[in-house]
A and B are shown apart, each in its own frame.
Chain A
Amino acid sequence: MQPIQYNPDLCIHCETVDCLMKCQYISFTGTEEAKTEKLKINGGEESRVLRECLTCYACQEYCPFDNNPFYLLVERQEALGILPAPRPVVEEQLRMMAPKGRITPQAVSGVVVDMCAFPMLTGCIRGKLFEGATTIVGTDIFCNIMWLHFAKNSTIRERVPRIIDNIMHFYLKDSNIRELICFHDECYGTYTSVADAYGIDVPFTPVHQFDYISGRLNELQDRIKPLNVKIAYQRPCSNRLVPHTDKALDEIFEKIGAERVPRTYDRETALCCGGVPRAHQRDELADELVEKNIDDMIRTGATYCVFNCPFCMATLAHEVAERGLMPILVSDLVQIALGE
């Protein structure tokens, strides 16, 4: 098993300890305390951070040196048996999401869109935007990144190579296709950031949905009817692993005439949707996060609340709608602009 790629010296000499100092859920008296805790984590010792962490992934983005602080934190949680959620809750989900071996070879053509384990979202792949696309979906190709929330790096190491193999073997190889559009940040994060840090080989080229859509909008430029709406974007945790893709999202919004209103909780200060803390049995904190997020969106005067993550959407959509905003996925919003 390959250890997480990181350089302990960078941390020892780090002056800002941004990974922890910028954390929105754990407070420190100052850089010194943060550094002490970070070095404990690096050294494989107990640290309160391991228990208090919300697993929001953000430190992964905060580290200016890409030193994988979050992956390492999860590694240490697992090694020390510090479970963020009760055992049966984790175990049941591990079983639910396990590869079932029910996959069969399928010829794919055009662009291949990986819908992860969300069959209910395959309906989003339609119209001009995804013309000629093939979707692949199911637990046998589930990216498994969610185990970062549950101190289960071992599951990621065990399952990710298998699902990569499934994608190649059952879909891409025989159809001679090497590009895979990832509908969800999580898949893209898995095949890029996680694979890098955990030393997992990826024989295909993952393409983020945003890059694909942005490119497609160039081709479909004459069909775009600018929306002229204000939208509040709910940035998901997994985008912290691939922050550069957020730029492509800005381009998309610009192309379709949607103004991404400045929120207190967007971009680097995005706030967790509240879904994961519920799994961690921290419902009161989850309630607070839901409320903060929605109050913040309302303040901006946005019409739409735009999601990329289906889990954030499932967690927030109901309340968002109740409070008068329209919950919608990025791709659906784009399709409205295309008149579809």
Chain B
Amino acid sequence: MTTDLISSLETIVGSRFVSGAAEERYLYSMDQGTMPPSEPDAVVLPATTDQVRQIVLLANERKVPVVPMGAGLVLSGLTRALRGGIIVDMKRMNRIIEVNPASRYAVVEGGASQGMLKAYLQKHHPELKHSMPDAPPVATVAGNVCIHGSGHLSVLGGSHSDMLTGMEVVLPSGEIVRTGSCGVSGQWFSRSPLPDLSGLFLGWAGTTGIITRLGIKLFPNYRHNDVLIFVAEDADLMPEMISRLTSVQAAEDMTPWMTPKPDWARGFLHINIAYGAHTKKELTFKRNLLQSSVREYIDRKIAGFLPLPPPQKGRFLKIPSPDLARFADLRRGGGFEYVGAIMAIEHFPKAYRAGLAIAEKHGVAYSLGARIIGAGHCMMFFFAYAFNRADPEDVKRASDALEATNTAALEIGGIPWKAELPAQKQIIEKMDPDTFGLMGRIRSVLDPNHIMNPGNWEK
């Protein structure tokens, strides 16, 4: 059956772009996170929307699972083939199709990476940029939008799914749909004013279709960029501080962080605030706005901005930021996972304390932090744990800590982001049954043979 499947796939994409070899299946069976491996039967790399369509039709005919995959960097095991089948690796579909500078959007293929889009814009449209996540640059734009990712312009533009302007999607049944303005006008400027079908593919962990193209908002790329680091000692004041800093609407990105390493940082709460401007004067004006928003705390001497001479700022202005990747290798052995939970800003103190308590109880190396989404509309609070993949006990400790964190996040009122399988089940438990029922009915309509990334979002 597998040999037959592979030769059928070869007919679609050519033999170089299909593999059922043991070593390939092994590599594609896992990501860097704590989820146990699960092997696909085959891996295929399509080059066109039509090839994707043919693969999906074939899978339907054979009742074989299909798992869409970008760079496989989600860390929560969402691109593992839980029930075997075909992993559709989108990396060959990596073209930047269009950039519209007037309406500030780009259209890219479903496998285009963050790094490629960034490089393309730098070369052809240096006046524009897109919101980069801190993931390694090989992460795909589509994979990140799919999971409601966030990045360096998230205070300005919200989560990356908010920046989506439309999609071309191959449905599990093989039809090709276009959501947003591109479905009507041929241009990719907006998801409004139509019924917003994009939501059928966002947050579903690849269970509703394969995105082959998408439009994404672009923003001004400033000549002058700066970062401030605000430091405070009282977690209870963080929501108000965040609220004030975002209220002046000067920042592009705001990322609180709390780590026990280096030693000097232990116990303090920091907020990196990145902002940019066309001129130095405008940059100073924005800095003054940000600083005056929290002047009251400064005058009370309970919080302030760290003095950073210009040469020290470079590291904090790097996009993507190398800091999380550096932390990822803290224990050596390349194991790293974080629970990100989307939650309301006012839960910051509770989330912080829960993170500290869990790290201490489970004896894991931790890094806590958040990314503010929108003008203080919500945040992605993350609890990161580094572990040594070669040490089963270390893996167990980290995965216990993650489970406890998911539970704590849900108790606080947050929702685990890009939830791994056990967390999905925890969310479903808390979700009201009618809503979960609707999710099931939508899936049955879109995917009657239940071939798309099965095992996810199921009870």
Contact = CB atoms under 8 A, between A and B. Distances in A.
B306 interface: yes
Interface stretch (A53-61, A230-238, A278-286): A278-286
Interface stretch (B119-127, B296-304, B322-330, B343-351): B296-304
Interface stretch (A26-34, A82-90, A182-190, A210-218): A82-90
B305 A88 contact: no
B284 to A, nearest CB: 6
Contact of A89 (B287, B307, B309): B307
A96 B310 CA distance: 18
Interface stretch (B27-35, B186-194, B263-271, B436-444): B263-271
Interface-centre pick from A86, A91, A276, A283 (highest chain B CB count, 10 A) = A86
A86 B301 contact: yes
Contacts of B233: 87-88, 91
B291 interface: yes
Contact of A95 (B263, B309, B311): B263
Interface string A275-313: 110110101100100000000000000000000000100
Given A281-B298, A314-B310, A88 B232 contact: yes
Contacts of B265: 92
A86 B298 contact: yes
A91 B306 CA distance: 11
A51 to B, nearest CB: 11
Contacts of B305: 89, 278, 281, 283
Interface-centre pick from B284, B307, B309 (highest chain A CB count, 10 A) = B307
B142 interface: no
A311 B264 contact: no
B301 A279 contact: no
A311 B312 CA distance: 11
B288 interface: yes
Given A281-B305, A283-B287, A314-B310, A92 B298 contact: no
A95 B305 CA distance: 16
Nearest to B228: A283
Contacts of B298: 86, 281
B245 to A, nearest CB: 15
Bin the interface of chain B by size: 20 to 34
B231 interface: yes
Interface in B274-323: 284, 287-288, 291, 297-298, 301-307, 309-312
Contact of A88 (B231, B287, B288, B309): B231
Contact of B288 (A85, A87, A284): A284
B309 A275 contact: yes
A96 B264 CA distance: 5
B310 A87 contact: no
B385 to A, nearest CB: 24
A318 B298 CA distance: 27
Nearest to A89: B304
A89 B306 CA distance: 6
A86 B303 contact: yes
Nearest to B269: A88
Contacts of A318: 310-311
B307 A88 contact: no
Contacts of A278: 305, 307
Contacts of A314: 309-312
Nearest to B288: A284
B265 to A, nearest CB: 7
A87 B309 contact: no
Contacts of B291: 281, 283
Given A96-B264, A275-B309, A314-B310, A89 B231 contact: yes
A278 B312 CA distance: 14
A192 interface: no
Nearest to B295: A281
Contacts of A86: 231, 297-298, 301-304
A279 B307 contact: yes
B309 A311 contact: yes
Nearest to A322: B280
Given A85-B301, A93-B264, 7 more contacts: A86-B298, A87-B301, A88-B268, A91-B268, A278-B307, A283-B287, A317-B310
27 contacts: A83-B301, A85-B304, A86-B302, A86-B303, A86-B304, A87-B301, A88-B231, A88-B232, A88-B233, A88-B303, A89-B305, A89-B306, A89-B307, A92-B268, A95-B264, A96-B264, A275-B307, A276-B307, A278-B305, A278-B307, A283-B305, A287-B284, A314-B309, A314-B312, A315-B309, A317-B311, A318-B310
Interface of A: 83, 85-89, 91-93, 95-96, 275-276, 278-279, 281, 283-284, 287, 311, 314-315, 317-318
